[in-house]
Amino acid sequence: MTTSVHRIQSLDAPAHTAVVIVGAGACGLTAALTLAHLGKECVILERDAMPAGSTALSSGFVPAAVTQAQKTQGIHDSADLFANDIQLKARGNASSLLVKAYTEAIGPAMDALSIHHGIPWQVIDTFLYPGHSVHRMHAVPEKTGAGLMMRLQNAAESAGVVILTQARATDLYVNHADKALGIGFIRPDGRLEKLSCEKVLFACNGFGGDADLVSDYLPQMRDALYAGHIGNDGSAIKWGRQLGAQLSDLGGYQGHGSWAIPQGALITWALMMEGAVQINANGERFHDESQGYSEAAVHVLTQPFGMVWNIFDDQLLKFAQDFPDFVEAQAAGVIRSFKDIEALAKYIGCGAKKLADTLNLVREGEDQQTGRIFKRNLSLPLHAIRVTGALFHTQGGLDINAHCQVMRPDASIFPNLLAAGGAARGVSGNDVWGYLSGNGLLSAIAGGYIAAHTAAE
Ligand SMILES: Cc1cc2nc3c(=O)[nH]c(=O)nc-3n(C[C@H](O)[C@H](O)[C@H](O)COP(=O)(O)OP(=O)(O)OC[C@H]3O[C@@H](n4cnc5c(N)ncnc54)[C@H](O)[C@@H]3O)c2cc1C
């Protein structure tokens, strides 16, 4: 289906609203809840019958600094420390103005969702996510993305937010001064309906669901599984290209090196951070697993057959069972258990001596081959999960300023076009290794909150 920009003088539409938000994921819903609180009218257009987006598929962990939840749990943090962690991971390549804007806004955004809309956050303090200096990963009690979406949707319903489902936005109407006049959207019977507005917010995530765009911008992930929402097909980028908007960091994305196959389930990277290792079909380790799950996707995909095995012991199994997604994956039969290394080697299809030699090097201290620091060795029995690398979501998009206003290549802004979340440039730089855990929902929630304040002005 096409995505078009029409240049016209005025739009004759049967309905009008102040702000049209395209997409009802974490970004769109946060923006709509913020607008509702500010007393500003909006309508969300959502292509699906049931809003879900990548948010519902995610683990639902949101990094945030200086929140009420952190204070309650006695955790000291600051926006500056958080910004520093983001830039360390991105080796200084993340947009500094967005890093500052998002790390400062995310605390107030999370507190506002909690205070005004009843979203109960708790900080995960049993495990430090890779690259974060302090415990700042927040989750709802369900500890899943589906739980987060359910709570945001319930809050939206209570706040009287209008969400038009089965409304795929296809047409953007702008006048000759680049001012957005409204949006056209396709209904299930194929009819095009129009809604005029004063401002448009693109909250329709990135281009992971469009194979051609992935091929163009992320050739190394062309053949990788896409684990995000298939409806995120780059609508915002397609409109942006036609408008002559600046697109930035299109080579940035979140990969994940631990996607169980053939079941198709995310296996928490917490397992790796606490001591598990990845072994390829030759019985070898091939990277420092503690560096982060995003770049691990590329390391895994370059191994024989593009697949490897996560290896861990009983102590780690028990630890991982604290994550509901892991328990669900376990119920789906992802784990195989072995009482000795010979049986594990037979399952993997590698030599038993080679595997034993590899696992012997997993012991307290620094591993000379990869530089990883281990706290302890793994004990029998051992468990294995077969995984591959996957593309989770893209991090490049419409370039925006600190107010989430869409920019032209000369840094001037479009009069009333906003973008946030996965539709906009992220804070991970232009490559896979720049993604700090949680940058996705950080951009969605902080961006949605900022964009709503801009739209309300
Ligand atoms: C398996 C997995 C695990 C993840 N875990 C985490 C995590 O723990 N923490 C984290 O920070 N990030 C995580 N992420 C990334 C995170 O899910 C995304 O960054 C985040 O959900 C983006 O939010 P969003 O609102 O921008 O997009 P989405 O939640 O994808 O919402 C976009 C919405 O726009 C709709 N839409 C798209 N195009 C149109 C159109 N043309 N018209 C109308 N509607 C449209 C879609 O249907 C969708 O509902 C994970 C991703 C995956 C895939």
Q: What is the mean pLDDT of residues 331-349?
A: 97
Domain match, 422 and 320 both: no
Span 269-280, pLDDT tens digits: 999 999 999 999
Decide: 21 and 164 in contact? Cβ < 8 Å: no
Ligand 1 close to Cβ of residue 103 (< 6 A): no
**What CATH number has the domain bearing residue 408?**
3.50.50.60
Domain match, 332 and 424 both: no
Domain match, 377 and 399 both: no
Ligand 1 close to Cβ of residue 445 (< 6 A): no
Ligand 1 close to Cβ of residue 227 (< 6 A): yes
Quick one: 1 exposed, middle or buried, by C-beta within 10 A (0-12, 13-18, 19+)? Answer: exposed
Domain match, 278 and 236 both: no
Domain match, 128 and 142 both: yes
Domain match, 122 and 51 both: yes
Decide: 247 and 293 in contact? Cβ < 8 Å: no
Ligand 1 close to Cβ of residue 51 (< 6 A): yes
**What CATH number has the domain bearing residue 282?**
3.90.700.10
Annotate 367-379 with b (16+ C-beta within 10 A) or e (fewer): eeebebebeeebe
Ligand 1 close to Cβ of residue 27 (< 6 A): yes
CA of 253 to the centre of ligand 1 (A): 13
The ligand 1 atom nearest the CA atom of 59: 8
**Torsion angle (degrees, nearest 10) of CA 344, 345, 349, 353:** 180
Domain match, 294 and 429 both: no
CA of 52 to the centre of ligand 1 (A): 8
Last residue of a domain, one of 375, 391, 407: 391
DSSP secondary structure, 185-238, as one string: EE-TTS-EEEEEEEEEEE-S--STT-HHHHHHH-GGGTTSEE-S-TT---HHHH
Specify the pLDDT at position 328.
Answer: 94
Label residue 130 by pLDDT band (50, 70, 90).
Answer: confident
From 2, 55, 121, 394, the mutation candidate for ligand 1 (largest count of ligand atoms within 8 A of CB) is: 55
Span 394-431, pLDDT tens digits: 999 999 999 999 999 999 999 999 999 999 999 999 99
Report helix angle 79-89 to 96-117, nearest 10.
Answer: 130
Share of the chain above pLDDT 70, in %: 100
The ligand 1 atom nearest the CA atom of 54: 30
CA of 50 to the centre of ligand 1 (A): 14
Domain match, 149 and 208 both: yes
Average pLDDT of every residue of the chain: 97
CA of 341 to the centre of ligand 1 (A): 40
Specify the pLDDT at position 133.
Answer: 97
Amino acid making up residue 154 = N
What token pair was written down for 122?
């708790």
Sign, Cα dihedral of 314, 319, 322, 325: negative
Span 165-215, pLDDT tens digits: 999 999 999 999 999 999 999 999 999 999 999 999 999 999 999 999 999
- The whole domain housing 136 covers 4-250+395-456
Q: What is the mean pLDDT of residues 61-72?
A: 98
Ligand 1 close to Cβ of residue 58 (< 6 A): yes
Element holding 384 (H helix, E strand): strand 382-394
How far from the centroid of its chain's Cα atoms is residue 402's Cα?
20
Ligand 1 close to Cβ of residue 201 (< 6 A): no
Ligand 1 close to Cβ of residue 428 (< 6 A): no
Amino acid making up residue 263 = Q
Domain match, 321 and 417 both: no
Span 131-154, pLDDT tens digits: 999 999 999 999 999 999 999 999
Ligand 1 close to Cβ of residue 184 (< 6 A): no
The ligand 1 atom nearest the CA atom of 168: 42
Specify the pLDDT at position 127.
Answer: 85
Domain match, 366 and 408 both: no
From 1, 44, 54, the mutation candidate for ligand 1 (largest count of ligand atoms within 8 A of CB) is: 54
CA of 47 to the centre of ligand 1 (A): 13
- Among 125-129, 224-228, 375-379, 422-426, name the one with the lowest average pLDDT: 125-129
Last residue of a domain, one of 391, 415, 446: 391
Specify the pLDDT at position 292.
Answer: 86
The ligand 1 atom nearest the CA atom of 60: 8
CA of 362 to the centre of ligand 1 (A): 37
Ligand 1 close to Cβ of residue 283 (< 6 A): no
Amino acid making up residue 362 = V
Domain total in the chain? 2
Ligand 1 close to Cβ of residue 89 (< 6 A): no
**C-alpha–C-alpha distance, residues 258 and 160, integer Å:** 39
CA of 205 to the centre of ligand 1 (A): 6
Domain match, 318 and 229 both: no
pLDDT surpassing 70 at residue 1: no
Last residue of a domain, one of 391, 422, 440: 391
Domain match, 65 and 203 both: yes
The ligand 1 atom nearest the CA atom of 448: 25
Label residue 216 by pLDDT band (50, 70, 90).
Answer: very high
**C-alpha–C-alpha distance, residues 287 and 371, integer Å:** 9
> Torsion-angle region of residue 233: left (phi > 0), alpha (psi -120 to 50) or beta?
alpha
Ligand 1 close to Cβ of residue 231 (< 6 A): yes
Span 245-292, pLDDT tens digits: 999 999 999 999 999 999 999 999 999 999 999 999 999 999 999 988
Decide: 418 and 202 in contact? Cβ < 8 Å: yes
Decide: 206 and 397 in contact? Cβ < 8 Å: yes
Ligand 1 close to Cβ of residue 296 (< 6 A): no
How many other CB atoms sit within 10 Å of the CB of residue 106? 29
> SS3 letters for 339-372?
CCHHHHHHHHCCCHHHHHHHHHCCCCEECCCCCC
**C-alpha–C-alpha distance, residues 231 and 456, integer Å:** 28
**C-alpha–C-alpha distance, residues 399 and 87, integer Å:** 18
| Three-state secondary structure call for residue 364 | coil
Amino acid making up residue 420 = A
The pTM assigned to this predicted structure is: 0.94
**C-alpha–C-alpha distance, residues 305 and 308, integer Å:** 8
Ligand 1 close to Cβ of residue 47 (< 6 A): yes
